[in-house]
Amino acid sequence: MPGGKLVGVNVSVRPSDGRAVRCRLDGDFFVEGDDAASRALIEDIEHALIAGEPVERTVARHADARLIGASAAAIETAFARATGVECAVGGDGNVAGHVAPESQRGLDVANQSAAPAARVDVRVAAQADDCGKAHINSRAGEAERWRARWAGLNPVVIHDRPRTPADQMAIDEQWARQVASGRRPATIRFWEWAAPAVVVGRFQSIPDEVHEAEAAREGIAVVRRCTGGGAMFIEPGNTITYSLVAPLSFVADLDVVSSYRLCDQWLIDALHELGIDAVYSGINDISSPVGKIAGAAQRRFAGVAGGPGSVLHHVTLAYDIDAAKMGRVLNTSAEKMSDKAVRSAVRRVDPLRSQTGLPREAVIDAMMRHLKAMAR
């Protein structure tokens, strides 16, 4: 989606007639809702695509789960392309679709009710773009309101010991559930990695996102986190990763995109203090004039046993990444490369190192000092 996230649909067809019989929705979008509601939404969308039913109508039935960064039109377009409908963008923003010749597709979709033969509407409008940096930062005094909320939160700040990739995923969700039940205070935990990893988002397809054989050759574990968003390439010492876990009251009365801005306000301020011209970008990224610096992912957990509920917000910042190795391990699309302003697949991605001139440990120390000073 322009200004949004990537959407993919993998389709299984019946060999006898090429009819789509199953599909799987993948992507680096987000779903706001608990586990059961999120699964139900995704499964119903997949059923609607196979049955030829409008996805928008299906999404509207799920009041307790919401797509972030994706739209019904984008999902239908991905399905149409997967089932052999060629799409050409017209001047009106619509997509004209027609069934490709069988020689080009290798399957017959002439009788597929789910594959539109005339037009596929992909005017996905700038939902995410409208919620981007200009829309958010233009609100007078918003940054000050966010800083006031942070001053009242007063989180515990921890620089954690090195943990394996699997342990990192487990402790992130464990601590979020502990805050949700009232057994842990608001906490920011800076991670240290004991081994390299690729961390894929909650709704991503590992075979589509990762060259698994190359990852195995490099000794890189592939793990899945409990939040949406895209794949992260991690090597110890080359990134800065942290998690914020706070009671749900911290993001009360905010939509999801605004809650990203609130949770990242301290980081924007800390990066400014380090001399980096950091700004919000899209739904969940932070960028500078030379490209992307950080990506965030977020999930809300309902309260249990009278607990307050929690929001988990974790961020990975690029300190000094081996882009050539990352390119061998990740199956990064041309769209994603363009969206993230990655200009070269062979040079290092080092926004924090090059823009601050500081060792990684000094950057973390400066961030922790900023956090602790906010509560004074």
For 34-61, the pLDDT digits (tens) are 888 999 999 999 999 999 999 999 999 9
Q: CA angle at residue 207 from 204 to 210, to 5 degrees?
A: 85
Q: What is the pTM of this model?
A: 0.78
Higher-pLDDT residue of 126 and 199 is 199
- What pLDDT, on the 0 to 100 scale, is given for residue 34? 82
Whether residue 343 has pLDDT greater than 70: no
Percent share of the chain, pLDDT over 70: 80
Q: What residue type is assigned to position 232 of the chain? A: M
What is the pLDDT averaged over residues 209-232?
96
Residue 302 near residue 35 (C-beta atoms within 8 A): no
Instruction: State the residue for tokens 């950091």.
Output: 278
Higher-pLDDT residue of 124 and 286 is 286
Q: Which two tokens stand for residue 60?
A: 């509207």
- What pLDDT, on the 0 to 100 scale, is given for residue 282? 86
Q: Which two tokens stand for residue 365?
A: 């120390």
Report the phi/psi class of residue 96: left, alpha or beta, with left for phi > 0 and alpha for psi in -120 to 50: beta
**Distance, CA of 368 to chain centre:** 25
Question: Which CATH architecture describes the domain 133-374?
Answer: 2-Layer Sandwich (3.30)
Residue 110 near residue 99 (C-beta atoms within 8 A): yes
Percent share of the chain, pLDDT over 90: 68
- What pLDDT, on the 0 to 100 scale, is given for residue 2? 73
Q: Which two tokens stand for residue 49?
A: 């695509």
- Give the separation between CA 223 and CA 220, rounded to whole angstroms: 10
Higher-pLDDT residue of 334 and 57 is 57
Q: Tell me, what DSSP letter sits at residue 185?
A: -
| Mean pLDDT estimate for the chain | 83
- Give the separation between CA 294 and CA 229, rounded to whole angstroms: 12
At residue 183, the 3 state secondary structure works out as: coil
pLDDT-based confidence at 160, cuts 50/70/90? very high
What is the pLDDT averaged over residues 183-208?
96
pLDDT-based confidence at 376, cuts 50/70/90? low
* 87-91, 232-236, 339-343: which is most confident: 232-236
Question: What is the domain partition of the chain in residue ranges?
Answer: 7-127, 133-374
Q: What is the CA radius of gyration of the chain?
A: 21
For 1-38, the pLDDT digits (tens) are 876 788 999 999 999 988 899 999 999 999 988 888 99
Q: Which two tokens stand for residue 341?
A: 């302003």
For 64-106, the pLDDT digits (tens) are 999 999 999 999 999 999 988 655 443 333 444 433 333 333 3
At residue 315, the 3 state secondary structure works out as: strand
Report the candidate in 222, 192, 226, 223 with the shortest Cα–Cα distance to residue 298: 226
- What pLDDT, on the 0 to 100 scale, is given for residue 35? 82
- What pLDDT, on the 0 to 100 scale, is given for residue 1? 80
- Give the separation between CA 2 and CA 224, rounded to whole angstroms: 26
Q: Which residues contact 186 (CB under 8 A, 6 or more apart)?
A: 153, 154, 155, 156, 179, 244, 245, 246, 247, 250
- What pLDDT, on the 0 to 100 scale, is given for residue 121? 28
- Give the separation between CA 355 and CA 357, rounded to whole angstroms: 6
Report the candidate in 223, 229, 195 with the shortest Cα–Cα distance to residue 312: 229
For 255-271, the pLDDT digits (tens) are 888 999 999 999 999 99
Burial class, 244, CB count within 10 angstroms (exposed 0-12 / middle 13-18 / buried 19+) = buried
What is the pLDDT averaged over residues 295-312?
92
Neighbours of 18 (CB within 10 A): 19
Neighbours of 160 (CB within 10 A): 14
- What pLDDT, on the 0 to 100 scale, is given for residue 304? 83
Instruction: State the residue for tokens 């988002």.
Output: 201
Higher-pLDDT residue of 128 and 335 is 335
- What pLDDT, on the 0 to 100 scale, is given for residue 139? 52
Give the CA distances from residue 11 to residues 8, 115, 210, 211, in Å, rounded to whole numbers and listed in that order.
Answer: 10, 12, 19, 20
- Give the separation between CA 16 and CA 184, rounded to whole angstroms: 57
- What pLDDT, on the 0 to 100 scale, is given for residue 136? 41
- What pLDDT, on the 0 to 100 scale, is given for residue 334? 57
Residue 87 near residue 120 (C-beta atoms within 8 A): yes
**Distance, CA of 6 to chain centre:** 9
